[in-house]
Amino acid sequence: MFRIIKVTGESLSPTYQEGDYVVVTTIPFFLARIKAGDVIIFNHVSYGKMIKKVSTVSAGGGEFVVVGSHENSVDSRNFGTIPAESVEGKVIWHITGPRQ
């Protein structure tokens, strides 16, 4: 229903940084209503569990274009769209770590 996940990597920096935590909901009701701008957790066949921001949702809601905010982010520009079945959760709370 709810999970806490630790963020690694910097592709969503400066908003989400290495060591931050996010609380995600896995409730299907919320996952069925993912929209552009939401931050989601999904499983990628090569990269494993990832966190990215949704840029675009397909017409039927079955696929998402995901992006990072960093120029060198590995995201849909590299691996294409993410099917809805791969989505594990939607971020509902971002717990930031100490910033320098």
Partner 1 sequence: MIYKLIQALDKMIGFDQADAHCDIPCGIYDPSTAQIAALTVVRMMDLMAELEAKGGNKDVSYQNSMARYVAVKEEHAELAKQEIRVIWGDYIKAQHLEKHAGLHDLVHKIMQLGSKSRQTADRETGVQFVAAINQFAEIFWDTKGIATKRAKAPYAPALEMVYPNL
Which chain residues interact with partner 1 by CB under 8 A?
3-13, 16, 21-22, 41, 47-52, 68, 70-75, 77-78, 95-98
Tokens of 53: 């921001």
User: In the complex with partner 1, which residue's Cβ is closer, 28 or 98?
Assistant: 98
Burial class (CB in 10 A: 0-12, 13-18, 19+), 5: middle
Which residues contact residue 43 at a Cβ distance below 8 angstroms, ignoring those fewer than 6 apart? Answer: 49, 50, 86, 88
Tokens of 40: 């989601």
User: In the complex with partner 1, which residue's Cβ is closer, 83 or 93?
Assistant: 93
Please give the single-letter amino acid code of residue 55: S
Nearest approach in angstroms of CB 11 to partner 1 is 4
Q: Which run of H or of E encompasses 77?
A: helix 76-79
Nearest approach in angstroms of CB 83 to partner 1 is 17
Nearest approach in angstroms of CB 65 to partner 1 is 11
Nearest approach in angstroms of CB 94 to partner 1 is 11
User: In the complex with partner 1, which residue's Cβ is closer, 72 or 100?
Assistant: 72
